[in-house]
């Protein structure tokens, strides 16, 4: 059995529950694809990208949370290794969805700035985890 710290166990439980929210995003995409929700081609592509990033990054984030338990990292570096991808799982989908909302939008709105922010946090999290695993 894998021994998780209390923080990792609670975080994993909360993140597992977010899958329900990701499912509702899938329902929304079905409605967009079926024409029940009007959307431009730009919006459809950004909505799909947001949904895909949410699902993949939550899954990867749970893996990072578990692998972080096998490192000797502590403090901020342990937090970054274990939850950086989970923070990116919020920032990236939010950037895709929120920059595409608005009737008839054909270009990203200002919240597109969340995309590079999420990419930086994602890279920092996985790089820190990788170093932590190699030096444990």
pLDDT in tens, 75-124: 999 999 999 999 999 999 999 999 999 999 999 999 999 999 999 999 99
What local confidence, expressed as pLDDT, does residue 1 receive?
64
In this structure, what DSSP letter does residue 111 have?
A: G
Q: What is the mean pLDDT of residues 50-54?
A: 96
Q: How far apart are CA 26 and CA 6, in angstroms?
A: 31
Q: Which structural domain, as residue segments, surrounds residue 80?
A: 6-135
The verdict on residue 24 lying in a domain is yes
The verdict on residue 35 lying in a domain is yes
Q: Could you tell me the two tokens for 39?
A: 């959307």
Total number of domains constituting the chain: 1
Q: Residue 66: is its pLDDT beyond 80?
A: yes
The verdict on residue 75 lying in a domain is yes
Count of helix runs (H) and strand runs (E) in the chain: 5, 0
The answer to whether the beta carbons of residues 96 and 46 sit under 8 Å apart is yes
What local confidence, expressed as pLDDT, does residue 64 receive?
98
What local confidence, expressed as pLDDT, does residue 41 receive?
96
Q: Could you tell me the two tokens for 68?
A: 């972080």
Q: Could you tell me the two tokens for 107?
A: 């270009």
What local confidence, expressed as pLDDT, does residue 3 receive?
84
The verdict on residue 1 lying in a domain is no
Q: How far apart are CA 17 and CA 7, in angstroms?
A: 16
User: What b-and-e string marks burial along 63-92, b requiring 16 or more CB atoms within 10 Å of the CB?
Assistant: ebbebbeebebeeebbbbbbbbbbbbbbbb
The answer to whether the beta carbons of residues 54 and 7 sit under 8 Å apart is no
Closest CA to 73 of 8, 121, 136, 12: 136
The verdict on residue 72 lying in a domain is yes
């Amino acid at each position: 059995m894998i021994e998780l710290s209390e923080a990792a166990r609670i975080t994993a439980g909360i993140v597992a529950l977010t899958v329900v929210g990701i499912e509702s995003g899938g329902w929304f995409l079905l409605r967009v694809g079926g024409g029940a929700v009007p959307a431009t081609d730009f919006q459809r592509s950004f909505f799909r990208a947001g949904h895909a990033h949410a699902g993949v990054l939550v899954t990867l984030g749970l893996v990072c949370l578990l692998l972080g338990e096998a490192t000797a990292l502590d403090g901020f570096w342990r937090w970054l290794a274990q939850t950086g991808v989970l923070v990116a799982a919020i920032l990236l989908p939010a950037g895709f969805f929120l920059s595409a909302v608005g009737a008839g939008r054909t270009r990203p709105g200002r919240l597109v700035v969340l995309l590079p922010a999420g990419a930086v946090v994602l890279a920092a999290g996985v790089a820190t985890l990788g170093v932590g695993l190699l030096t444990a």
